[in-house]
Amino acid sequence: MSRAGDGNPGNGGPDEGHRRPDGLDDVTVQALGKLSEALETVERVRGHLYSLHQLTGTADFMLDEAVSLFMQGGHTEIAERIERELIGRNVIPGRWTFQIVEEFDDGYYSEFRHVERDAREELAGGRRHLYEAELKERRRTHGRHGHEALPG
């Protein structure tokens, strides 16, 4: 079992890439942490947009089967309305979901990632997750198996 001070690098704190550079104050570490947290939230938004994209496409293809079944059941007007009004319809004016995803990726998401990266580069030498690394150090039980700072 690993213990603090036994020479195991897993017990000595964060690796160099997760240590606060000299002169970086608490408020700046917190601000970088909040910016990183905001980016993580935007990553989740992006995932939801891809879910929207895939689920909408799946529903559109399901409509083909519904049309076929309505036709078999003799409900031609309903089948034709689905074909005319829903199949292939834009989800917002002029756009299918792939266009929404692309515009989000190329615009807001791309700019958000650049701003977050630039802030880390300027203030923390590019280091990521400094706030979390310090939080881990405060919360882990030093010297306890399963609480190592790094993999053994």
Residues spanned by the domain of 29: 24-139
Instruction: Give me the average pLDDT of each 10-residue run along the chain (152 residues).
Output: 40 86 95 97 98 98 98 98 98 98 98 98 96 94 93 88
For residue 14, tell me if it sits in a domain: no
Q: What is the pLDDT of residue 26?
A: 95
Name the region of 20 (left: φ>0; alpha: ψ -120 to 50; beta: rest). beta
For residue 17, tell me if it sits in a domain: no
Q: Are 33 and 130 in contact (CB under 8 A)?
A: yes
What is the count of structural domains for the chain?
Answer: 1
